[in-house]
Structure 1
Amino acid sequence: MLRHIMAWTVVILAVAGIAGGLGFYKYSEIKTAIAAGEATPEPVESVLSTRSREGQWSAVTRAIGTVVALRQLEVKNEIAGAISEIGFTSGAIVEKGDLLVQFDTRQEQAALAAAEADARLAKLTLDRREGLRGSAAFSAQELDRSREEFNAATARARNLEVIVDKKRITAPFRARVGITNWQPGAYLDAGTLIVTLQGTAADAYVDFSLPQDSAVAIRPGTVVTLSGPAVPGGETTAKIIAEDNSADGSNRSIRFRAAAAGFGEKLRPGTFVDVIVRTSEPRTAVMVPLASVRRSPNGQHVFVLVEENGKLRARQRTVQTGAVQGDDIAIEKGLAAGELIAASGSFKLREGLLVDAGMPAPAPSTDVGVN
């Protein structure tokens, strides 16, 4: 019995010794790790910083506008016939009154000559009847018949003159003509498109459409911004001069027309430009660089740089954003003006991380924003 007890005692002491040795070894490891950690400097991330500031912004919307000439026309023939002469070159400039297309009028000219002869004969007969007034051979009925025959002959001649005139098509205004493939000798049915004319005025229109909700605040006289690679100088303004009288039946949008100075000389009709339209009055908001706003499953946030014990640390701040203007964004809730925040490089930060702010980023602009 005593031998059995002593054996178990030896086992217990051995186990305790092993456990104590392992504990001491682990304690030494932890102590060494703590010492190494204290000796290792805290990680630091470098970012560009900026201060939030107050700015003015307005809710605006964007649309695609189309440049339209002040005067444009599709030239079509009213009367069928064969082309005898084309007076323009595709793509050329024509002046008002210049010949565009002459149709063959030989048949009409012959008929006109006969009608004019009938009119002259009817006039002679009418004059003779008038000369018989007061004589026994005078007849009021014959005089009336001669007068109406003269009027009918004159009307037939005038009708043929109109037909001959309609077969000669001239430019109604100074314009650049489009491309055509018609040649002399071609027979055209009535209503055939011959060529298009685009007026060459200095100015032009820009047509664009807005959703009915955005169009509520837009009226003739509203100034819009036009931008894009095709716009002279990259950006300019134009004034809305007209709005359509009804919404589009397919998408319920409203069509507007703005007058753009200088576009007629520098942009071809049909060119697309960006249209930026302000849909609300300017109001004050906190503005920050767009790059400073981060997005996560919990919403949008910025990293505010807070000085703690003489060092800058990143503190995550949830914010509510508003309009965007270029590289800036409005903060409607969650941030005050004047706070130091991380701008470029904020994607590297996390809560509590030590930060080297470096050179401050450019302050955000105070221009209007874009929804």
Structure 2
Amino acid sequence: MRWKRMAVMLVGAGVVFGGVYGFIQFKNMKIAEFFANMPKPVVTVTVADAEAETWSTTVPAVGTLRAFNGVDVTAAVPGQIQKILFKSGQEAKAGQTLVVLDSDILQANRDAAEADAQLTEANYKRVSSLKEGAVVSQARIDENLFAMQAAKARVAALDAEISKKTITAPFDGKLGIRRVDVGEYIQPGTAIVNLQDLTNLRVEFSVGQRDVREVVPGRTIQVFADVVPGKTFTGEITSLEPKVDPATGVVRVEGSLPNLDGILRPGMFVSVQVDLADEREVVVIPESAVSYNLYGDFAYVVEPKAEGADHPTVKRVIVEAGDRRDGMVVIETGVEAGETVVTSGQLKLSPGMQIDAASEPLTRPDVTQQPY
């Protein structure tokens, strides 16, 4: 009896465990079947075709802008400011009076020197007229002549010093912020206001010694500034340093850059590209199509629509990005001309996902920046 009872219990336990195991397998099968038959999500993205273009080879560099004419307007003589005849930020013309210093004492000294010069001139004329009668010696005449010339020289020196009391703009340009006030006593060399000619700028940058033969005066340069994203300023190389810096192996280069609209300012850092003579065929795609990370740059390429499928899918390919220009990037490997790449919406993608190409680029949500 004991063995029969044990056999019944074992059979019952086997039936229970077998039922539980069968139920679990059945549930897993149904879950897998559900996910297998579940419709795949369709992600809306924007796309663009990779194109073959002819690009000239460029030498990239980082440059600094300088004004062809730019100075701190200073006083040449000491004095107290009587008048300030300009406003901060205004345009100034060459020769325009900016500041007038006190010159009362100098003017009085000049009047005294003028009177002395007139007296010495009269004495000289009187003495020289007596030469015909041989009443005076030649030494007396010379003495009066030199006294007259010295008196006139003192008048000229005082005139020059008085003229320096009127401080003028040395060239056309834009004035900066006023640094002095009426009534202030200033010394020679005191900065009054900064003056910059913004119509033409110099851009200074460095290139490696291997590019010296190609980077020559007259070569076109393209300049890019953060102040105007996406805009290209065009200038040309004007001169190079005659020697290579032995510490760095680079050569200093200077270029000219028209700035008629006054957007660029001296002191700005800019990106510079020097266009060289040779050209090459390249494959380019929009910069937004490339995703950058530590493990390699990649892009999503649109695959042809499968038979019976409603939407195309994407695959992720590793790319090697090259030069960038005007929002486009050269793809050395990974994408061929004519292939279609995803340009926005990549964060929602994974390999094999279906996509729907939007007719217009996706817009970012409006995020209001809160102050700290």
Give, in whole Å, the separation in 2 of the partners of 1:196 and 1:27. Answer: 84
- Give how far 1:18 is off: 3.0
Where does 1:187-336 land on structure 2 (aligned, <5 Å)? Answer: 188-193=186-191, 204-211=199-206, 213=208, 218-225=215-222, 236-242=233-239, 254=252, 256=254, 258-260=256-258, 262-263=260-261, 266=262, 270=265, 275-279=270-274, 281=276, 283-307=280-304, 309-310=306-307, 311=309, 312-336=312-336
When residues 285 and 148 of structure 1 are mapped into structure 2, their CA distance, relative to the original with a 3 A threshold, is farther
Give, in whole Å, the separation in 1 of the partners of 2:318 and 2:338. Answer: 17
Contact kept, 8 Å, 2:113 with 2:154, in 1: the verdict is no
- TM-score for both structures, normalised by structure 1: 0.70
Q: Out of 124, 127, 130, which is 1:128 matched to? A: 130
Report the secondary structure of 1:294's partner residue: coil
Q: Percent identity?
A: 18
User: Aligned-pair RMSD on alpha carbons?
Assistant: 4.5
Per-residue Cα deviation, 1:84-122 (whole angstroms, up to 9, x for no partner): x64844467776666653622211320232134224423
Give, in whole Å, the separation in 2 of the partners of 1:122 and 1:49. Answer: 96
Report the secondary structure of 2:16's partner residue: helix
Give, in whole Å, the separation in 2 of the partners of 1:51 and 1:176. Answer: 47
Contact kept, 8 Å, 2:75 with 2:187, in 1: the verdict is no
2:155 corresponds to which letter in structure 1?
L
**Which residue does the alignment assign to 1:356?**
355
Contact kept, 8 Å, 2:46 with 2:360, in 1: the verdict is yes
2:218 corresponds to which letter in structure 1?
G
Per-residue Cα deviation, 1:300-332 (whole angstroms, up to 9, x for no partner): 111222237424332221111123335432212
**Which residue does the alignment assign to 1:166?**
161
Contact kept, 8 Å, 1:306 with 1:313, in 2: the verdict is yes
Give, in whole Å, the separation in 1 of the partners of 2:275 and 2:343. Answer: 28
**Which residue does the alignment assign to 2:113?**
111
Please tell me whether Structure 1 or Structure 2 has the larger radius of gyration of its CA atoms.
1
Give, in whole Å, the separation in 1 of the partners of 2:294 and 2:188. Answer: 66
Contact kept, 8 Å, 1:75 with 1:196, in 2: the verdict is no
Give, in whole Å, the separation in 2 of the partners of 1:305 and 1:26. Answer: 40
Per-residue Cα deviation, 1:61-87 (whole angstroms, up to 9, x for no partner): 475755736475624234x4566x648
Give, in whole Å, the separation in 2 of the partners of 1:87 and 1:6. Answer: 121
Q: Out of 137, 142, 146, which is 2:141 matched to? A: 146
- Give how far 1:174 is off: 5.7
Give, in whole Å, the separation in 2 of the partners of 1:244 and 1:162. Answer: 42
Give, in whole Å, the separation in 1 of the partners of 2:14 and 2:193. Answer: 106
- TM-score for both structures, normalised by structure 2: 0.69
Aligned length: 342
Give, in whole Å, the separation in 2 of the partners of 1:359 and 1:258. Answer: 44
Give, in whole Å, the separation in 1 of the partners of 2:190 and 2:19. Answer: 105
The unaligned stretches of length 5 or more in structure 1 are 363-371
